[in-house]
């Protein structure tokens, strides 16, 4: 058995197991004992948690909380609504669609860790939504839709599939002439970096005219270790491009220091920040919810102009009609007759001419 398989076989998902890593508070114990939702983490990710800090940023992401039973802003049956599963177009369960040229292809509903803030929690954590994961049916549907250019393989965590299944999906997709890009969404480079084995690199790697991109999810600098750095290097050196999709989480990364450090450290291990997501309105995750403006403020106050532009993610909210940018719009202050007044991150002003018919006004 490979190390990563051992980690999954031995997922930390009982009080007894969790006690090996942290001193469980009475509140946490009650939440664990009374939850009906799936929870658990890899032993590796659990080992990064501070034993005695109930506010540890990794702990808050994986240990159930009593607040999961509350719901104010979450939408019931959120995933059916958000992924347009009850719409006009009849699609296999594995296919979620919001765009003409790309789809999300959900191939599995198990994960390395069960994030308490998961936006797909009805499928992955609560298990109230059951999908049929018929990969061949999905592949046939993709083949018939030649307007598609990109397939985003997601879950659950698709890299938990065995190497030969992943190889099969990639090979079948590359046989479809209209598919130009394959993208994986996987948290494993962060929560189970041991998964990036020589075997997997062989499956994902080598030069090919249909490139593979991988977006992972890392929400706090504390999640970044030497093992993750090595896993990312393994992916990159096999020709897989690596990005990050962070989620803005109250009490975890919504303070200036954590936010800036996260994005700087991602770059240091060669991960390009791609999206910062505003927390979606899935039910039972309000305790992680910030005001919408928060993400734009953090980008304005800690990233743009303050650190490398390479570290800058696009702040978006994922909705039933696609992702909508929520970037700070502090830069155009005014449009006069002849010039725009722009503002930088220090509040300093500058101007640009208004262009009319290709000539200056
Ligand atoms: C997020 C998502 C995509 C990918 O969107 P990008 O902006 O290209 O990252 C595609 N389809 C669905 C259904 C999605 O939720
Ligand atoms: S890894 Fe992704 S799908 Fe799995 S629980 Fe976390 S957010 Fe949800």
Residue 358: pLDDT over 70: no
- Ligand 1 pocket mutation pick from 100, 104, 183 by most atoms within 8 angstroms of CB: 104
Residue 8: pLDDT over 90: yes
Lowest mean pLDDT among 32-41, 104-113, 324-333: 324-333
Domains along the chain with CATH numbers = 71-325 (3.20.20.70), 331-361 (no CATH)
Band (pLDDT 50/70/90 cuts) for residue 85 is confident
Region 299-327: mean pLDDT is 94
218 lines ligand 2 (CB under 6 A): no
CA distance 294 to 277: 11
- Ligand 2 pocket mutation pick from 120, 188, 275, 280 by most atoms within 8 angstroms of CB: 120
Q: Could you report the per-residue pLDDT of 221-278, keeping only the tens digit for each?
A: 999 999 999 999 999 999 999 999 999 999 999 999 999 999 999 999 999 999 999 9
Contacts of 275 (CB under 8 A, 6+ apart): 215, 244, 245, 246, 313, 314, 315, 316, 323
Residue 186: pLDDT over 60: yes
The backbone torsions φ and ψ at residue 357, rounded to the nearest 5 degrees and listed phi first, read 50, 35
Nearest Cα residue to atom 15 of ligand 1? 104
CA distance 214 to 251: 27
Residue 36: pLDDT over 70: yes
Residue 83 near residue 96 (C-beta atoms within 8 A): yes
Whole-number pLDDT of residue 359: 61
Contacts of 293 (CB under 8 A, 6+ apart): none
Whole-number pLDDT of residue 330: 66
Contacts of 43 (CB under 8 A, 6+ apart): 7, 10, 11, 12, 21
Residue 206: pLDDT over 80: no
Tokens of 205: 């790697």
83 lines ligand 2 (CB under 6 A): no
- Ligand 1 pocket mutation pick from 246, 322, 324 by most atoms within 8 angstroms of CB: 322
Quick one: which ligand is closest to 153's CA? 1
Nearest Cα residue to atom 7 of ligand 2? 118
187 lines ligand 2 (CB under 6 A): yes
Region 305-312: mean pLDDT is 94
| Shortest-distance atom of ligand 1 to CA 274 | 9
Whole-number pLDDT of residue 294: 97
Closest by Cα among 173, 227, 229, 228 to 204: 173
CA distance 151 to 170: 10
Q: Could you report the per-residue pLDDT of 123-133, keeping only the tens digit for each?
A: 999 989 999 99
- Ligand 1 pocket mutation pick from 152, 246, 318 by most atoms within 8 angstroms of CB: 152
111 lines ligand 2 (CB under 6 A): yes
Residue 361: pLDDT over 60: no
120 lines ligand 2 (CB under 6 A): yes
CA distance 203 to 168: 9
Residue 140: pLDDT over 60: yes
Q: Could you report the per-residue pLDDT of 319-350, keeping only the tens digit for each?
A: 999 999 998 876 678 888 999 999 888 889 99
Please name the residue that has the structure tokens 């938990």.
Answer: 160
Nearest Cα residue to atom 2 of ligand 1? 104
Q: What is the pTM of this model?
A: 0.95
The per-residue pLDDT of the chain, averaged, comes to: 95
Quick one: which ligand is closest to 85's CA? 1
| Ligand 1 environment, Cβ below 6 A | 96-99, 102-104, 152, 318, 323
């Amino acid at each position: 058995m490979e190390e990563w398989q051992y980690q999954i076989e031995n997922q930390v998902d009982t009080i007894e197991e969790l006690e090996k890593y942290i001193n469980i508070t009475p509140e946490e114990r009650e939440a664990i004992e009374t939850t009906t939702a799936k929870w658990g983490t890899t032993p590796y990710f659990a080992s990064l948690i501070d034993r005695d800090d109930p506010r540890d940023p990794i702990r808050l992401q994986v240990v159930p909380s009593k607040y999961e039973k509350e719901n104010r802003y979450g939408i019931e049956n959120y995933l059916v609504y958000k992924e347009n599963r009850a719409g006009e177009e009849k699609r296999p369960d594995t296919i979620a669609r919001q765009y003409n040229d790309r789809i999300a292809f959900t191939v599995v509903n198990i994960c390395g860790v069960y994030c308490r803030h998961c936006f797909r929690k009805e499928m992955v954590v609560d298990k109230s939504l059951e999908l049929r994961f018929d990969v061949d049916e999905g592949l046939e549907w993709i083949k018939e839709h030649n307007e598609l250019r990109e397939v985003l393989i997601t879950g659950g965590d698709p890299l938990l599939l065995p190497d030969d299944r992943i190889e099969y999906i990639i090979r079948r997709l590359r046989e479809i002439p209209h598919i130009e890009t394959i993208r994986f969404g996987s948290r494993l480079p962060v929560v189970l970096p041991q998964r990036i084995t020589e075997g997997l690199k062989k499956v994902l790697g080598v030069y090919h005219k249909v490139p593979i991109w991988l977006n992972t999810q890392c929400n706090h600098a504390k999640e970044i270790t030497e093992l993750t750095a090595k896993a990312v290097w393994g992916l990159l050196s096999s020709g897989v491009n690596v990005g990050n999709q962070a989620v803005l989480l109250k009490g975890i990364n919504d303070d200036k220091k954590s936010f800036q450090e996260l994005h700087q450290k991602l770059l240091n291990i060669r991960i390009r920040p791609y999206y910062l997501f505003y927390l979606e309105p899935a039910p039972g995750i309000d305790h992680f919810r910030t005001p919408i403006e928060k993400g734009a403020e953090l980008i304005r106050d800690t990233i743009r102009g303050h650190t490398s532009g390479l570290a800058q993610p696009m702040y978006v909210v994922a909705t039933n009609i696609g992702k909508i940018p929520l970037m700070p719009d502090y830069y155009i202050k005014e449009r006069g007759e002849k010039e725009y007044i722009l503002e930088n991150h220090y509040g300093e002003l500058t101007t640009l001419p208004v262009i009319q018919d290709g000539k200056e006004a």
